[in-house]
């Protein structure tokens, strides 16, 4: 299995530009919350990636852009404080070719992004500091209205949409939430999204087991038992956000290993 490597923070901001040049000192990313809606991997490669197409461990996570910097719960992303930007102009197609390098010779079609290939793009390079004040040079970033394309790692592209956090709900009806944990998840949008990812991944693994047709009854039973055991352990976190985040991320890893380990 190919372990993904985070190259850089690469965003391409796609927009209809009325000016040919924007001074970097006058530019900043829109201060919004963005959510990963899709993880695209290069379908032209034979390698098996650690993070796979639309992986539930990645889809649903957030990128938060503020005046102070860029923070995220996306795996492998480093904290980016006091960002400074440099801008050049191209197209999405050229951007995707550039981040893939000569070795892979990838195109937008390889990532199922062919419909964006001719869109104009402002390629934004970011330099900043991490949480320990170490300097980071993060070459190239794309916004088409409310969409970001992000070169996240080797042969991988994240597609993020701007979101209203009030619209983010867990996998269950919050009106029926009774426990401390359920209420805490309902009141915290990253936790609500993680809960939805866990529920989606659990259903996906059950579908995979059924489709594989090997020892189905026992494996489905094992999945159900492990899910109930995990829910009991998760609920011991009470309303602690850090504990709940770790618990759900660990569950996503365990579910992924159930059929892919």
224-229: list long-range contacts, CB under 8 Å, 24+ apart.
226/254, 226/258, 227/202
Residue 79 domain-assigned? yes
Residue 16 domain-assigned? yes
Least confident among 19-28, 41-50, 130-139, 215-224: 19-28
Q: How far apart are CA 249 and CA 194, in angstroms?
A: 8
Furthest-apart CA atoms within the chain: distance in Å: 62
Mean pLDDT on 138-162: 81
In the predicted model, is pLDDT for residue 220 greater than 60?
Answer: yes
Question: How far is C-alpha 138 from the geometric centre of its chain's CA atoms?
Answer: 18
What's the pLDDT band for 6 if we cut at 50, 70, 90?
very low
pLDDT recorded at residue 174: 97
Looking at the structure, tell me whether residues 14 and 136 fall in a common domain: yes
In the predicted model, is pLDDT for residue 14 greater than 60?
Answer: no
In the predicted model, is pLDDT for residue 37 greater than 50?
Answer: yes
Residue 3 domain-assigned? no
Looking at the structure, tell me whether residues 152 and 60 fall in a common domain: yes
Looking at the structure, tell me whether residues 136 and 98 fall in a common domain: yes
In the predicted model, is pLDDT for residue 15 greater than 80?
Answer: no
CB 208 within 8 A of CB 202: no
pLDDT 10s digits, 167-210: 999 999 999 999 999 999 999 999 999 999 999 999 999 999 99
Residue 34 contacts by C-beta under 8 Å, 6 or more apart in sequence? 62, 63, 64, 65, 148, 160, 161, 162, 163
Q: What is the dihedral of CA 12, 200, 6, 243, to 10 degrees?
A: 120
Q: What element of type H or E holds 197?
A: helix 189-212
pLDDT 10s digits, 92-132: 888 887 776 555 567 788 899 999 888 888 888 888 888 77
pLDDT recorded at residue 11: 53
DSSP 3-state of 42? coil
pLDDT recorded at residue 173: 97
Residue position matching structure tokens 């006058």: 26
Mean pLDDT, the chain, rounded, equals 84
pLDDT recorded at residue 39: 95
CB 135 within 8 A of CB 127: yes
Residue 89 contacts by C-beta under 8 Å, 6 or more apart in sequence? 17, 20, 120, 121, 122, 123
Looking at the structure, tell me whether residues 111 and 182 fall in a common domain: no
CB 10 within 8 A of CB 141: yes
Decide which of 103, 128, 163 is a domain's last residue: 163
What's the pLDDT band for 3 if we cut at 50, 70, 90?
very low
90-110 burial by CB neighbour count: b if 16+ within 10 A, else e? bbbbbbbbbbbeeeeebbbeb
What's the domain count of the chain? Answer: 2
Mean pLDDT on 54-59: 96
What percentage of the chain carries pLDDT values higher than 90? 49
pLDDT recorded at residue 139: 52
pLDDT recorded at residue 7: 41
pLDDT recorded at residue 40: 93
Question: How far is C-alpha 247 from the geometric centre of its chain's CA atoms?
Answer: 18
Structural domain harbouring 153: 10-163
Higher confidence at residue 130 or residue 70? 70
């Amino acid at each position: 299995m190919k372990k993904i490597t985070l190259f850089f923070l690469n965003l391409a901001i796609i927009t209809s530009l009325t000016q040919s040049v924007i001074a970097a000192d006058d530019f900043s990313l829109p201060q919004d919350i963005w959510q990963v809606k899709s993880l695209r991997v290069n379908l032209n490669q034979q390698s098996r990636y650690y993070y796979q197409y639309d992986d539930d461990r990645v889809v649903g996570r957030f990128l938060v852009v503020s005046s102070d910097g860029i923070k995220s719960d996306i795996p492998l992303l480093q904290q980016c404080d006091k960002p400074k930007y440099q801008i050049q102009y191209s197209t999405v197609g050229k951007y995707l070719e550039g981040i893939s390098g000569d070795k892979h010779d990838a195109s937008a079609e390889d990532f199922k992004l062919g419909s964006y290939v001719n869109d104009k793009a402002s390629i934004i390079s970011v330099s900043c500091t991490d949480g320990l004040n170490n300097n980071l040079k993060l070459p190239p970033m794309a916004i088409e209205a409310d969409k970001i394309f992000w070169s996240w790692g080797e042969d991988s592209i994240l597609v993020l949409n701007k979101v209203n956090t009030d619209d983010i709900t867990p996998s269950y009806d919050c009106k029926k939430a009774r426990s401390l944990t359920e209420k805490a998840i309902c009141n915290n949008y990253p936790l609500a999204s993680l809960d939805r990812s866990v529920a989606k991944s659990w259903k996906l693994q059950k579908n995979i087991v059924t489709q594989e047709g090997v020892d189905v009854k026992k494996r489905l039973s094992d999945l159900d038992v492990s899910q109930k055991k995990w829910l009991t352990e998760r609920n011991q976190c009470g309303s602690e956000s850090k504990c709940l985040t770790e618990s759900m991320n660990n569950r996503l890893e365990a579910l992924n290993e159930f059929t892919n380990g």
